[in-house]
C-alpha cells in the first residue's frame, strides 16, 4: 500500500482524498498512512530476518508517540524503545508487553527507574557509571534486580547532521569504549544489576551502511571480550537511525539507507555471535507515512522573491528551521503534466525569518486556498511541535485503506487559555 498517491486528480492518503480530510478537520493537520506504517514494519522485520537471529524490533516512540501509531506496531509484535516515563506509559497504554520495552537516555531519574522496574521492562540501556550506581540503589530499595545493557560510545562518525549524530567520543551518549573494563569491574560489585546486553546507537537519519558496520564491529569485538570475561549476554541492541528518503538523491548524497547493505553489515559483524538482536528504528517506520497538510494563505511577490505563505508554521514542523532539513512539498491538486515550475520560498505565518519550510523551491503555480502537502513528516513532526505564537496544536488523522479517523482533535482556544492559572495577587484586581 503506497502511503500517498495522486488519484482522480488529487493526492490521497492510501484511499482517502486529502481534500476530504482538510474539509473535515481543517488545516494545518497531520495525516498518517496507518496501513503503510504496518507494511513498512512487516518489510523491515522480514529484511532483518535474513540475519538469521531472533530479533525484536523496539519501535523508537520518540519519532511519533501517538498511541494509535505505537499500537499499530504492537499489533504486529513490536516492542518499544522509550526515553522517559511518559513514553513508557504510552507504550504500555498502546499494549506493548513490558518484556519488549527498552529504556534509553542519559538522564533517567530515580522515579523513572523505579516505575520501569515495577513495570518489569526488558532492559535499561545504561549510559554512565553514575547511572549504574543510582539504578543499583533504586533496584535494591525495591528488592528487584535491574536488567542492564551497557550503551557503548564506539567513537564512530555516523556521517549525518551534527545535531543528530550520537556515536562520536565528543557526544554525550554512551559509555566510552575505553571505560568498559572499569565499568565491568564496577558491575561485579553492584549486586542489584544483571548485565544482559550491550547496545550502540550512533545517530539518526543514517544513509550510509559503513558507519554502522564500523560500530557493530566494535560492539562485536567488545561482546567477545565480555563473554571471555565470564559474563553471560542475552542480547545485543543495535539501535536505530536507519535513514529514509526525503526526496530524490541530490548533491551526490544517497537518498536513503540501502537496507540490504545494512542487513549485510549486521550479519558480517555480529551474526556469528549468535545472540538475539534488538533494533530501535523510529523514523524508518513512520517518517514517509506521514504528511503535514496545509493551505496557501497568500502568494506574495517580493522584490527578489516570491513567497508562498502557508497556514502551517515552524511550530507545527520545526525540522527545516532546526536542521535545515529538506522536505518535499507538493500541491494536493495534481499538477498538469509539464506545468511550468517557479522558484518560491515556502513560509509560515510566524514572526521569525526562520519560519520557513523551503528556500527557492521549484513548485508548480499555486494560489491562495490551494492545499499543499509537506511530505515525510510522520517522524519528528507533531511530536516536536509547540504552540509558539499561541497557535493551536495541529490535529492528527490516521487512515488505513479507505478508512480514516481523527486520532487527535484540534483543541479550542478556551481550553488552551484555561491551562494558564493566575496567582492570587493578580486574580482580584487585575491591576
Ligand atoms: N535509539 C536511540 C537511543 C535514539 O537516541 C534514537 C533517536 C533512536 C533509537 C531512533 O532513531 P531513528 O531510528 O528515528 O533515527 N529530531 C531529530 C532526530 C533525533 C533522533 C534522536 N534519537 C530529527 O528530526 O531528525
For 335-347, what is each residue's pLDDT tens digit?
999 999 999 999 9
- Using alpha carbons, select from 400, 384, 322, 306 the residue that is nearest to residue 357: 322
Q: Which three cell numbers stand for residue 129?
A: 557509571
CATH topology of domain 4-31+287-418: Lyase, Ornithine Decarboxylase; Chain A, domain 1 (2.40.37)
Q: Residue 301 C-alpha to ligand 1 middle, in angstroms? A: 38
Assess whether pLDDT exceeds 80 at residue 170.
no
Could you report the predicted ipTM of this complex, rounded to two decimals? 0.99
Ligand 1 mean position to 24 CA, how many Å?
32
CATH number of 34-285: 3.20.20.10
Q: What is the model's pLDDT at position 430?
A: 58
Is 34-285 in the same CATH topology as 4-31+287-418? no
User: Is 58 among the residues known to form the active site?
Assistant: no
pTM higher than 0.90: yes
Q: Are 33 and 4 in contact (CB under 8 A)?
A: yes
Q: Does residue 160's CB lie within 6 angstroms of at least one atom of ligand 1?
A: no
Catalytic one of 351, 414, 417, 424: 351
Domain spans, the chain: 4-31+287-418, 34-285
Distance 205 CA to ligand 1 centre (A): 8
| Model confidence at 282: pLDDT above 70 | yes
Separation of alpha carbons 255 and 247, rounded Å: 7
Categorize the per-residue pLDDT at 169 as very low, low, confident or very high, splitting at 50, 70 and 90.
confident
Annotated binding site: 241, 280-283, 319, 323, 352, 380
Q: Is the separation of the CB atoms in 238 and 279 below 8 Å?
A: yes
CA distance 96 to 314: 32
**Residue 371: which residues within 8 A CB-CB, separation 6 or more?**
18, 19, 22, 27, 293, 294, 295, 296, 331, 332, 333
CA of 63 to the centre of ligand 1 (A): 7
| 125 SS3 class | strand
Contact 290, 376 (CB under 8 A): yes
Which residue's alpha carbon is at the smallest distance from atom 11 of ligand 1?
241
pLDDT at position 238: 98
**Does ligand 1 come within 6 angstroms of the Cβ of 60?**
yes
- Supply the residue whose CA is at minimum distance from atom 6 of ligand 1: 240
CA distance 134 to 186: 13
From 41, 109, 120, 117, select the one nearest 279 (Cα to Cα): 41
pLDDT in tens, 226-237: 999 999 999 999
List of E strands, 274-328 = 277-279, 290-301, 306-310
Amino acid at each position: 500500500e503506497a502511503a500517498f498517491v495522486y488519484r482522480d486528480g488529487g493526492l490521497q492518503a492510501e484511499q482517502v482524498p486529502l481534500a476530504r480530510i482538510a474539509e473535515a478537520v481543517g488545516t494545518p493537520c497531520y495525516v498518517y498512512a496507518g496501513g503503510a506504517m504496518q507494511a513498512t514494519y512487516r518489510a523491515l522485520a522480514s529484511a532483518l530476518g535474513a540475519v538469521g537471529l531472533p530479533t525484536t524490533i523496539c519501535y523508537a516512540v520518540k519519532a511519533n508517540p501517538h498511541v494509535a501509531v505505537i499500537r499499530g506496531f504492537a499489533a504486529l509484535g513490536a516492542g518499544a524503545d522509550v526515553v522517559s516515563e511518559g513514553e513508557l506509559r504510552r507504550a504500555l497504554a498502546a499494549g506493548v508487553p513490558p518484556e519488549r520495552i527498552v529504556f534509553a537516555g542519559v538522564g533517567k531519574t530515580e522515579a523513572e527507574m523505579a516505575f520501569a522496574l515495577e513495570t518489569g521492562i526488558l532492559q535499561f540501556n545504561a549510559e554512565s557509571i553514575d547511572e549504574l550506581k543510582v539504578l543499583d540503589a533504586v533496584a535494591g530499595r525495591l528488592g528487584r534486580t535491574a536488567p542492564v545493557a551497557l550503551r557503548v560510545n564506539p567513537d564512530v562518525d555516523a556521517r549525518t547532521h551534527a545535531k543528530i549524530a550520537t556515536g562520536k567520543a565528543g557526544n554525550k551518549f554512551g559509555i566510552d569504549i575505553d571505560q568498559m573494563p572499569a565499568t565491568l569491574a564496577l558491575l561485579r560489585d553492584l549486586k542489584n544489576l544483571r548485565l544482559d546486553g550491550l547496545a550502540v546507537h550512533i545517530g539518526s537519519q543514517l544513509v550510509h551502511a559503513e558507519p554502522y558496520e564500523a560500530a557493530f564491529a566494535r560492539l562485536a569485538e567488545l561482546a567477545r571480550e565480555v563473554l571471555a570475561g565470564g559474563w553471560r549476554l542475552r542480547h545485543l541492541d543495535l539501535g536505530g537511525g536507519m535513514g529514509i528518503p526525503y526526496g530524490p538523491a541530490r548533491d551526490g548524497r544517497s537518498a536513503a539507507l540501502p537496507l540490504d547493505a545494512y542487513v549485510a553489515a549486521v550479519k558480517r559483524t555480529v551474526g556469528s555471535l549468535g545472540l538475539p538482536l534488538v533494533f530501535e528504528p523510529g523514523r524508518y517506520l513512520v517518517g514517509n507515512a506521514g504528511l503535514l497538510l496545509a493551505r496557501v494563505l497568500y502568494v506574495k511577490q517580493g522584490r527578489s522573491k516570491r513567497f508562498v505563505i502557508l497556514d502551517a508554521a515552524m511550530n507545527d514542523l520545526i525540522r527545516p528551521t532546526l536542521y535545515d532539513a529538506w522536505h518535499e512539498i507538493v500541491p494536493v491538486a495534481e499538477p498538469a503534466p509539464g506545468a511550468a515550475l517557479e522558484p518560491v520560498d515556502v513560509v509560515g505565518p510566524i514572526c521569525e525569518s526562520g519560519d520557513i519550510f523551503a528556500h527557492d523551491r521549484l513548485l508548480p503555480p499555486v494560489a491562495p486556498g490551494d492545499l499543499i502537502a509537506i511530505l515525510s513528516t510522520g517522524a519528528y513532526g507533531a511530536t516536536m511541535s509547540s504552540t509558539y505564537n499561541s497557535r493551536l496544536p495541529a490535529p492528527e488523522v490516521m487512515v488505513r485503506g479507505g478508512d480514516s479517523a481523527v486520532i487527535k482533535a484540534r483543541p479550542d482556544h478556551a481550553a488552551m487559555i484555561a491551562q494558564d492559572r493566575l496567582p492570587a495577587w493578580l486574580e482580584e484586581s487585575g491591576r
